[in-house]
Chains A and B, each alone.
Chain A
Amino acid sequence: MSQATIDADAKPESLGVGADHPDYLRADSGLRSWLLTKDHKRIALMFYVGVILFLGLGGVFALVLRTELLTPEQTFIDANTYNQMFTLHGITMVWLFMIPAIPTVFGNFVLPIMLGAKDLAFPRINLASFYVYVLSAIILLGAMLAGGADTGWTFYVPYSTTSPTAVTWMGIGIFVNGISSIMTSVNFIVTTHTMRAKGMSWHRMPLFVWASYATSIIILFATPVLGMSLVLIALDHALGLTLFNPRYGGDPVLFQHLFWFYSHPAVYIMILPAFGVISEVVCSFSHNKPASYRAIAYSSLGIAFIGFFTWGHHMFVAGLSEFDAGVFGALSMFVGIFSAIKVFTWVATLRGGSISFATPMLYFLWFLFLFVFGGMTGVAVATQSLDVHWHDTYFVVAHFHFIMVGGTLTSFLAGAHYWFPKMFGRLYDERVGLLTSVAVFIGFVFTFLPQFLLGNGGMPRRYFTYPERYQWLNVLSTGGAWLLGAGLILALGNLLVALKWGKRAGPNPWGSRSFEWITASPPSKHNFEETPEIERSAYEYTLSEEVARERAKAR
Chain B
Amino acid sequence: MNELLRRILFLPRQASTIAEEIDKLHYFVIIITMGGALLVTLIGGWFLFRYRRTAVQKDPSRRMPEATPAIWLEAVVVVGLFGMFILWWVIGFWQFMAIRVPPENALEIYVTGKQWMWKFAYPQGANSIATLYVPAGRPVKLILTSRDVIHSFFVPDFRLKQDVLPGRLTTLWFEAKEPGRHDILCTEYCGVSHSTMRGEVIALAPEEYERWLQGKSPAPAVAGPVDLRPSSVTDYAPPELVSMVRQGERAAAEHGCLRCHTLDGTPHLGPTWAGLYGTTIRLEDGGSVKVDEAYITESMMDPLARIHAGYQRIMPSYLGQIRPAETSAIIELMKSLRDVRPKPGAQAPWGTVTVPETREGGQ
Contact = CB atoms under 8 A, between A and B. Distances in A.
B92 A329 contact: yes
B161 A291 contact: no
Interface string A452-495: 01101110111111111100010000000000000000000000
A351 interface: yes
Contacts of A460: 154, 185-187, 195
Nearest to B41: A369
21 contacts: A79-B192, A246-B165, A322-B96, A322-B100, A333-B89, A349-B69, A350-B51, A351-B47, A355-B47, A365-B41, A365-B45, A368-B44, A373-B37, A389-B22, A389-B26, A456-B26, A458-B12, A458-B156, A461-B187, A465-B195, A542-B65
Nearest to A86: B189
B275 interface: no
Q: Among A8, A251, A319, A337, which residue has the most Cβ atoms of chain B within 10 A?
A: A319
Contact of A353 (B51, B95, B185): B51
Interface string A217-248: 00000000000000000000000000001110
A94 B6 CA distance: 34
Interface string A39-66: 0000000000000000000000000000
Interface string A362-398: 0001001100110011011011111111011100000
Interface stretch (B76-84, B244-252, B288-296, B338-346): B76-84
A346 B45 CA distance: 12
Interface stretch (B206-214, B277-285, B316-324, B350-358): B350-358
Given A333-B86, A341-B78, A385-B96, A392 B12 contact: no
B57 A8 contact: yes
Nearest to A344: B74
Interface in B205-253: 225, 227, 229
Contacts of B353: 162-164
A350 B186 CA distance: 47
A246 B22 contact: no
A529 B319 CA distance: 85
B159 A453 contact: no
Interface of A: 4, 8, 79-80, 83, 150-152, 156, 158-159, 162-164, 245-247, 251-253, 286-289, 291-292, 295, 316-319, 322, 325-326, 329-330, 333, 336-337, 340-341, 343-357, 361, 365, 368-369, 372-373, 376-377, 379-380, 382-389, 391-393, 453-454, 456-458, 460-469, 473, 541-542
B4 to A, nearest CB: 14
Nearest to B157: A458
Interface string B61-80: 01111110111001001100
Contacts of B149: 158-159, 162
B189 A462 contact: yes
Given A246-B165, A388-B96, A458 B9 contact: no
A330 B47 CA distance: 33
Contacts of B336: none
Contacts, number: 285
Given A453-B9, A462-B194, A329 B65 contact: no
Nearest to B153: A317
Closest 10 CB pairs of A and B: A246-B167, A458-B156, A352-B64, A385-B95, A383-B92, A291-B69, A384-B96, A350-B47, A373-B37, A376-B33
A542 B81 CA distance: 33
Given A80-B192, A319-B168, A386-B25, 11 more contacts: A156-B150, A158-B356, A291-B71, A329-B89, A349-B69, A351-B51, A385-B25, A388-B159, A465-B195, A473-B10, A541-B65
Nearest to A348: B69
Contact of A354 (B53, B91, B191, B352): B53
Nearest to B156: A458
B156 A389 contact: yes
A162 B93 CA distance: 36
Interface string B184-200: 01111111111110100
A325 B44 contact: no
Contacts of B225: 469
B161 A391 contact: yes
B305 interface: no
B29 A353 contact: no
B65 A352 contact: yes
A159 B190 contact: yes
B325 interface: no
B56 interface: yes
Contacts of B192: 79-80, 83, 150
B65 A344 contact: no
A292 B62 CA distance: 20
Contacts of A156: 150, 188-189
B62 A377 contact: no
A458 to B, nearest CB: 3
Contact of A356 (B53, B86, B94): B53
Given A385-B22, A392-B152, A352 B95 contact: no
A79 B71 CA distance: 54
A503 B162 CA distance: 59
A277 B129 CA distance: 54
A457 B48 contact: no
A356 to B, nearest CB: 5
Contacts of B51: 286, 350-355
Given A369-B41, A379-B88, A162 B25 contact: no
A345 B74 CA distance: 8
Contact of A292 (B29, B38, B69): B69
